[in-house]
Amino acid sequence: MTDINAFIDDQVKNNDVFLFMKGTPDFPQCGFSGQVVQILNYLGVEFGSANVLESEELRDGIKAYTNWPTIPQLYVKGEFVGGADITREMFQSGELQTHFEQAGIAVKQSA
């Protein structure tokens, strides 16, 4: 396992909710990353994040890790949930809130 794969694996497995995104939660640098941050903040879910713009190795590594071509990428309890479109659709249907609750993650609000 390469260093970047070890870093990704560590973040995914040691954080209940983790978001690989462009920018930071306080300053998203793409609209899709911003949407996922807004959803997580609305639900009051605590999450870790990594800015893929800081490292080309991380940006390429996360795409290879999941075999998913786009960023952001949301993980819950070590499981890849999806990108912005999937996260938004799950949120709008209530499925995301249910997913968090079934994973034992507190949700402060529902849609």
pLDDT of residue 104: 96
Q: Does residue 30 have a known ligand-binding role?
A: yes
For the chain, residues with pLDDT lower than 70 are 1, 109-111
Would you state the CATH architecture of domain 3-103?
3-Layer(aba) Sandwich (3.40)
pLDDT of residue 1: 54
Are the CB atoms for 109 and 40 separated by under 8 Å? Answer: no
